[in-house]
Homo-oligomer: A and B are copies of this chain.
Amino acid sequence: MTSSTTISKWDIFEHAIEAEVAGNPYTETEFRGVFRHENRAVRVPGFYDGNGVFIVRFMPDTEGEWTLTTESEVAALDGATASFTVTAPREGVHGPVRVRNRMHFAHADDTPYFPFGTTCYAWTHQPLAMQDKTLKTLAASPFNKIRMCVFPKDYPYNENEPLHDVFEPVGDGTYDYDRPNFAAFRHFETQIGRLAERGIEADIIIFHPYDRWGNCTMSEEQDFRYLKYLVARIAAYRNVWWSLANEYDFLLDVKPMTRWDRFFHIIEENDPYRHLKSIHNGDPDMCYDHRKPWVDHVCMQNWDVKKTSEWRRDYGKPVVNDEPEYEGNIFQSWGSITARELVHRFWITVLKGGYAGHGETYAHPQDLLWWAKGGELTGESPRRIGFLLDLIKEDVRNGLTPFDEITGHGFPWNRVSGARDGDVTFVYFGEHRPVIWSTGFPLQDGDYEIDIIDTWNMTITPGKKVPAPVPRATRHADVVRGGKADAAFGVELPGKPYLAVRVRPRK
């Protein structure tokens, strides 16, 4: 059997059924599809899209012939069938991102993925022209992930009304949380799809506390239903990541910890693709316990980026520090660091085996701050962040492992940052500017090249090889005095801050 419908792997197959169903289908009607390929069956929740239309979506991960059968208590939604052929993925489509090598990520086709994300919380709630501008800016930027909220945002610099109400208004500024505005969800997922076409992961923030529409104080039942609905609608987009919340701890007064745990379970029960799941904290001391098995990677807000390797050890999962403060100049202290400082924090984070996130918060007369609304990037950090990403893409295959893990010694890697993958080594000195360095370099001589990287001026200059310094006893118990160097060679450095070195076999 060959179906005449064809779809590329990791694209979306969609099946819609029109049916007259009594009551409120959002709250009352269960409906799902069972997708079959050979002996395998995948159960996928469907959802109500308004106007008597029920939809089930599916992102196939395997080429070949697939069939669909629908299941429901409602006769009109039960037993519908379809078939389709899944072909090779389109060029540039690599499938959803997974954890790989315990601390890193890759697409489903094994293409390494290095999350270098940015933040535009409420970009999909802005006027459409502004949203188009955001997509254009993103496409020209180095960023390959964006943090974005389902719900609109009420916050400093976020005064405007959203493009769409997410639930149906019932007057007096209140809403019926049992009746979604389907147009809002259609628009939201359209923009996820446009991100996917640009190769950008959509880090979907499901709950957040910056609210004047009551979205964050829905009942437990309404929360659970909304979450299941969202997953049913958008899980088929290959670029979805689930971020349970932004600053979840600022919602603990209305959503206790058990509910957060249950949110994770609901996603697991309804997302057959197992998209990445995490949750973002406000207070640096209030991280969710990322060791819980349903958390795929650590998402956090913390400016103290030298702790990155500590977080790796604490949680044993990939670390994505999505808010190491933002490039900007507003009076809020999380949004006023220099571009140089943000670039510095990116380098430290990445060379301690984690990933960092970008945001831009320059005061603007019309409150058009990239971090909230998107639009245009005017800062100095994105180019430098892109320069770092290019260096990583060029040589890193499995992901960087920080030297404190490789060697079992914190020192000196708690002060400077260094990491290795295969035979490429990076060391970042930051505020340090030694005139010579060798620690972390290869122990065997060979045809290695050393480059000195100016992280701000984005230059790469061949370094001068010199004999490695020979460490000397530093305490009474040291047996070796005048012993051996800890590397086969060293490099002379110009004594300036914000430099890195790269060592790799000459090609």
Chain A contact residues, CB within 8 Å of chain B: 154-156, 209-212, 216-217, 247, 250-251, 253-254, 283-284, 303-304, 306, 325, 329-334, 336-338, 340-341, 363, 410-412, 414-416, 429, 431-439, 469, 471-477, 490, 495, 497
Extra contacts, 18 of them, besides A155-B473, A247-B475, A304-B304 (Cβ < 8 A), are: A154-B473, A156-B474, A209-B476, A209-B477, A210-B474, A210-B476, A211-B475, A212-B473, A254-B476, A330-B435, A331-B434, A331-B438, A333-B415, A333-B416, A336-B429, A340-B431, A341-B431, A341-B497
Asked whether A250 and B415 contact (CB < 8 A) given A410-B283, A497-B341, the answer is no
Closest B residue to A157 by beta carbon equals B472
Give the contacting residue for A412; candidates B304, B333, B337, B469; CB below 8 A: B333
Distance in angstroms between the alpha carbons of A284 and B340 in the assembled complex: 27
Q: Which residues of B contact A332 (CB under 8 A)?
A: 412, 434
A-B contact pairs, 14 of them (CB 8 A): A209-B475, A209-B476, A211-B475, A211-B476, A217-B476, A247-B475, A254-B477, A332-B434, A333-B416, A338-B431, A338-B433, A340-B431, A341-B431, A363-B435
Closest B residue to A438 by beta carbon equals B331
Distance in angstroms between the alpha carbons of A495 and B363 in the assembled complex: 11
- Across the A-B interface, the 4 shortest Cβ-Cβ residue pairs: A333-B412, A209-B475, A341-B431, A333-B415
Min CB–CB distance A472 → chain B (angstroms)? 5
Q: Which residues of B contact A432 (CB under 8 A)?
A: 333, 336-337
Q: Is the CB of B330 within 8 A of A434?
A: yes
Q: Is the CB of A497 within 8 A of B156?
A: no
Min CB–CB distance A164 → chain B (angstroms)? 20
Q: Which residues of B contact A217 (CB under 8 A)?
A: 476
Q: Which residues of B contact A415 (CB under 8 A)?
A: 303, 325, 333-334
Distance in angstroms between the alpha carbons of A439 and B325 in the assembled complex: 18
Distance in angstroms between the alpha carbons of A306 and B302 in the assembled complex: 12
Distance in angstroms between the alpha carbons of A436 and B477 in the assembled complex: 54
Min CB–CB distance A329 → chain B (angstroms)? 5
Asked whether A472 and B333 contact (CB < 8 A) given A341-B431, A341-B497, A435-B363, the answer is no
Closest B residue to A253 by beta carbon equals B477
Closest B residue to A412 by beta carbon equals B333
Q: Which residues of B contact A210 (CB under 8 A)?
A: 474-476
Q: Which residues of B contact A410 (CB under 8 A)?
A: 283
Distance in angstroms between the alpha carbons of A341 and B247 in the assembled complex: 31
Distance in angstroms between the alpha carbons of A254 and B477 in the assembled complex: 9
Q: Is the CB of A331 within 8 A of B469?
A: yes
Asked whether A337 and B431 contact (CB < 8 A) given A250-B475, A474-B155, the answer is yes
Distance in angstroms between the alpha carbons of A295 and B341 in the assembled complex: 37
Give the contacting residue for A433; candidates B156, B329, B435, B473; CB below 8 A: B329
Q: Is the CB of A331 within 8 A of B436?
A: yes
Q: Which residues of B contact A333 (CB under 8 A)?
A: 411-412, 415-416, 432, 434
Q: Which residues of B contact A414 (CB under 8 A)?
A: 284
Give the contacting residue for A329; candidates B209, B434, B439, B476; CB below 8 A: B434
Q: Which residues of B contact A411 (CB under 8 A)?
A: 283, 333
Distance in angstroms between the alpha carbons of A209 and B211 in the assembled complex: 58
Q: Which residues of B contact A154 (CB under 8 A)?
A: 473
Min CB–CB distance A366 → chain B (angstroms)? 16
Min CB–CB distance A214 → chain B (angstroms)? 8
Q: Which residues of B contact A412 (CB under 8 A)?
A: 332-334
Q: Which residues of B contact A304 (CB under 8 A)?
A: 304, 306
Distance in angstroms between the alpha carbons of A341 and B496 in the assembled complex: 12
Q: Which residues of B contact A283 (CB under 8 A)?
A: 410-411
Q: Which residues of B contact A212 (CB under 8 A)?
A: 473, 476
Q: Is the CB of B250 within 8 A of A435?
A: no
Distance in angstroms between the alpha carbons of A487 and B334 in the assembled complex: 19
Min CB–CB distance A58 → chain B (angstroms)? 36
